[in-house]
Amino acid sequence: MTLALGAVLAGCSDEDDPAPAAQPAPEDPTADSGEPATDTSLLNTALSLEVLAFDTYQAAVDGGLVERREVLDALTLFQQHHAQHRDALVALVEAAGGEPFQTANPVAKVTLVNPGFSEVAEERDLVGLVRDLEQICARLAVHVASIVEAPELRSAVMAMGAVASRRATYLDLLGDLGNEQLARYPVTNPLPADAVVPD
Amino acid sequence: MPDPSAPAARPRATNTRRTFLRRAASGVAVVAIGPALVPVSRFLPAAGAQASGDASLAAFAESIELVAAAAYEAGADFLSDDLAPVLRTFAAHHAEHAEAWADLAGERATGEPNPALLEALTPTIEGFGSQNEVLRFARDLENQLSVTCGHLLTVLEGGDAATVAATILPVESSHAAALSYELQEGLEASFPFGAVESAELLFGLDPAVFPVAPS
């Protein structure tokens, strides 16, 4: 156990990006042509990522690669977390007067999750895949919280983002993945620009 | 190094819902799928000590981060060679958090650990006798810092201040989860608040209970 935790920090650096295995695509050069994303757009983007995470955990459990009971327990609990986050974000979108986008984020699925799944060969790879997805969930929460202006929205989003960070760390240790850990999360959008759900 | 708290620009919505979904459909087709908390009950809010305003709250946050950094130093002698660098890194994180808060606090920053919190924790710190005692203490403190940071997000008014809190909160919660894992406390212990992190000061550090020393 001690070695596992030590490994988390083995790669500590001063870089501001945790650099998950699945890197977001370069920013869309046409991105400035549209209107700035609204609060409901940002919340829907987070919602779509929660749906994607829920589906990804289901695929992970169903894939036949899970060997250890503690891994199965973690995947099961974390999928439940994402269901709760999904429901909370649906409520936030509706409270903001928007229409909830309850579909797995298609861009993130194609650019981040699917390429990751294609490289999964064993349980540890699977744990690494969902660890990366949790980091993206946490980073997106920080990004959204740095933009929305209502304190109650910031708080609600970060209450979920903080738990995503816990999950990422737990998975990192569970898989002995040795991810670097930073003093502060960056505020940049971890998703491709075209993954933002439009209103 | 880029400032992680530099304001993020709102991303642009480049698609309509219809084109967004259409792109999704075409894309899918071509890709193969493979605690024992700090005992605060004996403390009462000091009269007139309620911190308010972003600068005062930032000064409070700076002071409790400095307590965390100091506490990790005090426990270093009990740590194994494997764990010592891990907790040193955590301590460095807290020092960096304190600097970020101090920048926001401006003239209200003290550069000193919170005196009331330090007084409350000193008996425990001085009583450290084993690595696991240090880890349990650190796990509790990290959980409290996480909750406190979450609470600050509900009361900070400025976007810059809220952004600082948002960039720090998930690091505190991550520390707590890592320490619980190291203590082999089981899955649930790494998520003491379930799926949603608490922002209730009952589980955190109240600025009114632990006021910043007057400058």
For the segment A155-180, the average pLDDT, to the nearest whole number, is: 96
pLDDT at A4: 36
The pLDDT mean for chain B works out to 84
Q: Which two tokens stand for residue B197?
A: 């992190």
Phi, psi of A69 (to 5 degrees): -60, -40
- State whether B166 and A115 contact (CB < 8 Å): no
- State whether A166 and B80 contact (CB < 8 Å): no
pLDDT at A180: 80
Per the CB < 8 A criterion, the answer to whether B143 and B37 are in contact is yes
- Please report which helix (H) or strand (E) contains residue A36, including its range: strand A35-36
Q: At what angle do helices A151-174 and A39-62 cross, to 10 degrees?
A: 20
Contacts of B38 (CB under 8 A, 6+ apart): B117, B120, B121, B140, B141, B144, B205
Query: Which has the higher per-residue pLDDT, A27 or A68?
Result: A68
Answer whether A69 touches B (CB < 8 Å). Answer: no
User: How many helices and strands in chain B, by DSSP H and E?
Assistant: 6, 1
Q: How many CA atoms lie within 13 A of B190 on its CB side?
A: 29
Q: Which of A169, A186, A133, A105 is nearest to A23 (CA)?
A: A133
Query: How far B164 CA lies from chain A's nearest CA (Å)?
Result: 8
Which residue from A minimizes the CA distance to B34? Answer: A118
pLDDT at B13: 58
Can you tell me which residue has the tokens 């698609």?
A: B15
pLDDT, tens only, A134-157: 999 999 999 999 999 999 999 999
Residues of chain B in contact with residue A182, where contact means CB-CB under 8 angstroms, are 4, 171
Q: Which two tokens stand for residue B44?
A: 């009462």
**A 80-109 near B (Cβ less than 8 A):** 80-81, 84-85, 88, 101, 103, 106-107, 109
Judge if ipTM > 0.90.
no
pLDDT, tens only, B35-78: 444 444 334 444 334 456 999 999 999 999 999 999 999 999 99
Rounded Cα distance between B119 and B4, Å, is 33
Q: Which of B101, B165, B213, B98 is nearest to A187 (CA)?
A: B165
The pLDDT mean for chain A works out to 86
pLDDT at A28: 41
Answer whether A154 touches B (CB < 8 Å). Answer: yes
**Cβ density class B64-73: b for 16+ within 10 Å, e for less:** bbbbbbbbbe
- State whether A12 and B89 contact (CB < 8 Å): yes
pLDDT at B7: 58
Of A12, A70, A149, the CB nearest to B159: A149
Which residue from A minimizes the CA distance to B190? Answer: A166
Of A37, A73, A188, the CB nearest to B13: A37
pLDDT over 90, % of chain A: 78
Answer whether B25 touches A (CB < 8 Å). Answer: yes
**Cβ density class B164-189: b for 16+ within 10 Å, e for less:** bbbbbbbbbbbbbbbbbbbbebebeb
Q: pTM of this prediction?
A: 0.84
Contacts of A129 (CB under 8 A, 6+ apart): A21, A22, A56, A60, A113, A116, A117, A120
pLDDT tens digits, chain B, 215 residues: what are they?
Answer: 445 556 566 666 555 655 554 444 433 322 222 244 444 433 444 433 445 699 999 999 999 999 999 999 999 999 999 999 999 999 999 999 999 999 999 999 999 999 999 999 999 999 999 999 999 999 999 999 999 999 999 999 999 999 999 999 999 999 999 999 999 999 999 999 999 999 999 999 999 999 997 54
Among A146, A181, A182, A197, pick the best mutation site for testing chain B contact (most B Cβ within 10 A). Answer: A146
User: Alpha helices, DSSP H only, in B8-130?
Assistant: 17-30, 54-75, 84-105, 115-126
Q: How many CA atoms lie within 13 A of B117 on its CB side?
A: 29
pLDDT at A56: 98
pLDDT, tens only, A106-116: 999 999 999 99
Q: Which of B177, B150, B144, B175 is nearest to B165 (CA)?
A: B150
**B 35-74 near A (Cβ less than 8 A):** none
HEC secondary structure over A123-185: HHHHHHHHHHHHHHHHHHHHHHHCCCCCHHHHHHHHHHHHHHHHHHHHHHHHCCCCCCCCCCC
Rounded Cα distance between B87 and B177, Å, is 13
pLDDT, tens only, A6-53: 333 333 333 333 333 344 444 443 344 467 789 999 999 999 999 999
pLDDT at B17: 58
Which amino acid, residue B171? V
Per the CB < 8 A criterion, the answer to whether B112 and B213 are in contact is yes
Answer whether B78 touches A (CB < 8 Å). Answer: no
Which residue from A minimizes the CA distance to B7? Answer: A146
Rounded Cα distance between A4 and B194, Å, is 24
For the segment A86-103, the average pLDDT, to the nearest whole number, is: 97
Per the CB < 8 A criterion, the answer to whether A79 and A131 are in contact is no
For the segment A115-119, the average pLDDT, to the nearest whole number, is: 93
Of A30, A85, A165, the CB nearest to B174: A165
Per the CB < 8 A criterion, the answer to whether A10 and B83 are in contact is no
